[in-house]
Structure 1
Amino acid sequence: MKSNRRSFLRLSAFALPFTRVNQLFAKSNAVRKPLVVSTWDSGQISNAAAWPILEKGGSALDAVEQGAIAMENEINCCVGLGGNPDRDGFVTLDACLMDDKFNCGSVAFVEKVKHPISLARKLMENTPHVFMAGAGAQQFAVESGIKLESGELSPDADKAYKEWLKNGEYKPVINVEHQQSHPKGNGPFAPKRFDDGTFNHDTMGTIAMDASGNLSGMCTTSGLGFKMRGRIGDSPIIGSGLYVDNEVGAATGSGQGEEVIRICGTHTIVELMRNGLSPAEACKKAIERIIKINPEKAKTFQVGFIAINKQGEIGAYSIQKGFSYTMTEKGGKGIVVPSKSHFS
């Protein structure tokens, strides 16, 4: 099924104008829980897997892990083993998760592991460590009973890689995820892989609050397509791609990870919320810090953040227009919300 993401945001019965969503949120001061929020409209895949757990009273941690697994099962260019490879032809995956007690686990530069999010959880729960990478993380996977996959490129990734090799150009494209779903993806929101070698640099990030009011979050990605071998972005870095403080709130994001790392993006957002800013205001302030570093360069890349606080308020902000997020709460239907942005 071919699906244009911009058309989806205009035509979907679930998409609401940003101001209308804010009006809905303002109707009650009661904490809205459970709820789950994910980056992009493709976050409906993650939310759909997370929601049944939350609806039955399960933990936010279990919910976000299942959301990640659902995305890692998709054949698309930005998450999981179906993703585009690095410039040496290998798919390397990054993932992290964090719970309400500051427990966290991260893996990076991992090959042949279908569900890096579950590997990150095993690391969190079964070792004294927080972060493992490369061959060591793969060895830990084997020791933990995880079966390694073949490591072969998917047919579409192989085609894209061979096309990229003709010029070998490193060319991130703003919001490429929004151009068109890949017709051979497993779901209607799987992003397109372009024949000219352009690629998607977007992460799936999910944050959730369970019925007990506890927060957790996750990030999972195959990173920048055709990146230098060994490159790691913000996604597996606690405090950059994801941060959770159960007293305050949680934040995650998507986009060009190098720029997020520079300001410890998600930790910054949570601290801004601690100091009284709303999730939307905190996301905006973090984006403005990124832009301030180099305003001209900021016109060439995308970063988008989402956040929730302990009151169940949701906020988002991005550098460029086109970023969106998916929220799911009572009723279980994913509502796609376009984010406000600095450049319109």
Structure 2
Amino acid sequence: MTFGSIATWRMAHDGIVSSMELLGQEGTSQDAVEKIIKTVEDYPYYKSVGYGGLPNMEGVLEMDAAFMNGDTLQIGAVAGITDVSHPISVARKLSKEKFNSFLVGQGATKYAMLNGFERKNMLTNRAKKIWERRLEEINHHHLNPYDGHDTIGAISLDSFGSMSAGTSSSGLFMKQPGRVGDSPLSGSGFYVDSDIGGAAATGLGEDLMKGILSYEIVRCMAEGLSPQEACDKTVYSFHDKLTKRYGKCGAMSLIAMNNKSEWGVATNVEFTFSVATTSEEPQIYLANMTKEKTTSIEPITQDWLDAYEKRIKMPII
């Protein structure tokens, strides 16, 4: 039986590598998805997820996460959770609850504390400095406060044929307190069905949730489209529809994998992702939308990776 994992952005790559080791030892897709996302949540140089994530307008780091079991269709999610080391783990536990499986704000944080999850100040000094600098820029130069919305979304297929999906994000930098994007919303930020496949999204949540794109990709795969065909059809048709109806379309990138470990990606911005299967070694790719509304995909170069590492670790003065 084949297995594999795919996840959004270069930041997911180390987790993808670890997930393949787990899956190769007959580990479950649930554990694989959680491992991928926890690896990102722990890394302080990723500004849009977990520890090191950038805060809201008031300097508070509010995080969103979701988990879905493709066998049972159970879903757990948190929104606006604070001071919790691994929101994805809280979401996974909530997916096992018959009631109260989606918690927000203080309720989500209290649930995590009562259930023994690690309490941690997730706002790093680096993130706080970036927030302080942006406040000064806004006050002195009247700049748009909003920036950054790179969700980690992951899908895994294990050797038993089970699939899972998960997301985690600190959301839009300088967002209004209480703002929730698409990441914890079923059908928008993620969706998975082990009989078909799964999809996950990253980008501007306010626009992504207008199209329920993750569910739509899975629906298209159920009708016989390959993951790449489903991604291209769903993302680019909605990009055009939203541009026509709404006047503009924010960033949106989606990944998909079916229950044969075939995968696909579509995006309207420059987008990186990591993927591995039993027949493909872990690899980071760069994707772009073509003029023909298809997706060009090519491996990243070492020069690109070196520039990326230098950029995310640049000192904050």
State the TM-score, normalizing by the size of structure 1: 0.78
Asked if 2 retains the 8 angstrom alpha-carbon contact of 1:51 and 1:332, the reply is no
- 1:66 corresponds in structure 2 to 35
> 1:81·1:222 contact (CA, 8 Å) conserved in 2?
no
Aligned CA distance change for structure 1 residues 270 and 331 (closer, same or farther; 3 Å) = closer
User: What SS does the corresponding residue of 1:98 show, helix, strand or coil?
Assistant: strand
- Please name the residue that 2:315 is paired with: none
3-state secondary structure, aligned to 1:250: strand
Residues 217-257 of structure 1 deviation map (CA, whole Å, 9 limit, x = unaligned):
11111111111111111111111111001111100021111
* 1:81 corresponds to: 51
Q: How does 1:265-280 map to 2 (within 5 A)?
A: 265-280=213-228
Cα RMSD (Å) of the superposition? Answer: 1.8
Distance 1:144 1:332, change over 3 A: farther
- Out of 104, 108, 114, the residue aligned to residue 75 of structure 2 is 104
Q: What is the SS of the residue equivalent to 1:135?
A: helix
Q: Does 2:248 match 1:297?
A: yes
Query: 2:255 aligns to what?
Result: 306
**Aligned match for 1:156, one of 101, 126, 129:** 126
8 Å contact kept, 2:261–2:277:
no
| Higher percent of residues as strand | 2
Alignment of 1:100-249 (within 5 A): 100=70, 101-150=72-121, 153-168=123-138, 169-170=143-144, 172=146, 199-249=147-197
Matching of residues 14-29 of structure 1 within 5 Å: none
1:44-96 C-alpha deviation (Å, 9 max, x unpaired):
12212322211100110111001111110011211103111000100011001
* 1:331 to partner: Cα distance: 7.4
C-alpha contact (below 8 Å) 2:228/2:266 kept by paired residues: yes
2:10 aligned partner: 41
Equivalent residues of 2:197, 2:257 under 8 A apart: yes
Bigger shift: 37-46 or 84-93?
37-46
Say whether the 8 Å CA contact 1:107–1:116 is kept in structure 2. yes
User: Aligned partners of 2:89 and 2:98: how far apart in 1?
Assistant: 14
- Please say if residues 170 and 226 of structure 1, whose CA atoms lie closer than 8 Å, have aligned partners that are also in contact: no
The structural deviation recorded for 1:340 is: 4.2
Unaligned stretches of 5+ residues in structure 2 = 294-317
User: Do the aligned partners of 2:275 and 2:283 also contact (CA within 8 Å) in 1?
Assistant: yes
Alpha-carbon distance in structure 2 between the residues aligned to 1:81 and 1:215 = 27
The code of the aligned residue for 2:152 comes to: M
Mark the CA change 1:342 to 1:262 in structure 2 (over 3 Å): closer, same or farther: farther
Q: In structure 2, give the amino acid aligned to 1:312.
A: S
Given the two structures, how large is their TM-score scaled by the length of structure 2? 0.84
Q: Which deviations, in whole Å up to 9, do the C-alpha atoms of 1:13-58 show, x marking residues without a partner?
A: xxxxxxxxxxxxxxxxxx7x21111112222122123222111001
**Counterpart of 1:265 in structure 2: which amino acid?**
L
**Does the alignment pair 1:91 with 2:61?**
yes
Residue of structure 1 equivalent to 2:299: none
Q: Deviations over 1:138-193 (max 9, x none)?
A: 11111101232235x31211111111111334355xxxxxxxxxxxxxxxxxxxxx
Question: 1:55 corresponds to which residue?
Answer: 24
Give the direction of change, closer, same or farther, for the CA distance of 1:316–1:150 in structure 2 (3 Å limit).
Answer: closer
How many aligned positions are there? 283
Give, in angstroms, the shift of residue 294 of structure 1. Answer: 1.8
TM-superposed deviation, 1:127: 5.0
Q: Which has the higher contact order (CA 8 A, sep 6+)?
A: 1
The answer for the alignment partner of 1:23 in structure 2 is: none
Amino acid at match of 1:170: N
In 2: Cα distance, 1:142 partner to 1:170 partner: 36
- % of aligned pairs identical? 31
Distance in structure 2 (CA, Å) of the matches to 1:113 and 1:271: 34
AA at the equivalent of 2:289: S
